[in-house]
Copies of this chain bind each other. A is one copy, B any other.
Amino acid sequence: MRALTIGRYQPFHKGHLNVIEKISKKADEVIICVGSAQVSHEIENPFTAGERIAMIRRSLSQNNLDEIFYIIPLEDIKRNSIWVSHLESMTPPFDVVYSNNPLVVRLCREEGHEVRHSPLFKRNKYSGTEIRKRMMEEDEWKNLVPKGTLEVIDEVDGVKRLNEISKNEISQTQS
């Protein structure tokens, strides 16, 4: 059985890793779609698709989960009625979708796909929003992501990037 799950993974954290681990126990192969692949360098979306793919791939390998995964970037298409066809065209055929996003659930069901609730894992603790906030406030965040994510963020100087793009424009008091 081939399962599909989708997220933005900004960044890929331990909650994501745990969920994928659980899904992988029920499926022979797991397709991990990296959504909103085209955006990056935004406060809500600091990392490129390629960087997020690297985080995921490395984290899966370091946890000995590297055999049966497809990690696929998916650009937004902004027309809900054709989104499922877009998803299908970019992925190998799949049997089940794991998602808790109401729109994803609805769209996939309208097209006849089986959808199951995604397993949950300490979502109040592991959250992309929280991690990005901590990065910007120089608060502790490194324990919330797997080693692979940490390495990629270091390599691309990700914390500095996030801090720079979130700065206000230069103060207007000078003349």
Interface residue ranges, A against B (CB under 8 Å): 37-42, 48-51, 53-54, 57, 61, 66-67, 70-73, 75, 78-82, 84-86, 88-93, 100-103, 105-107, 110, 117, 120-124, 152, 155-156, 161, 164-170, 172-175
What is the CB-to-nearest-CB distance from A164 to chain B, in angstroms, rounded to a whole number?
Answer: 4
Residues of B within 8 A of A90 (CB): 37, 48-50, 73
Given that A48-B90, A79-B39, A82-B85 are known contacts, is A120 also in contact with B175, CB under 8 Å in the complex? Answer: yes
Residue from A37, A38, A123, A155 having most chain B Cβ neighbours under 10 A: A38
* Bound CA span A124–B172, Å: 7
Q: Is the CB of A40 within 8 A of B123?
A: no
List, sorted by A's number, 19 A–B pairs whose CB atoms are closer than 8 Å.
A38-B79, A38-B89, A39-B78, A40-B89, A41-B81, A48-B89, A50-B92, A66-B67, A93-B155, A102-B164, A102-B168, A102-B169, A103-B165, A106-B161, A106-B165, A120-B172, A120-B175, A122-B175, A124-B175
* Bound CA span A168–B169, Å: 32
Q: Is the CB of A106 within 8 A of B164?
A: yes
* Bound CA span A3–B83, Å: 25
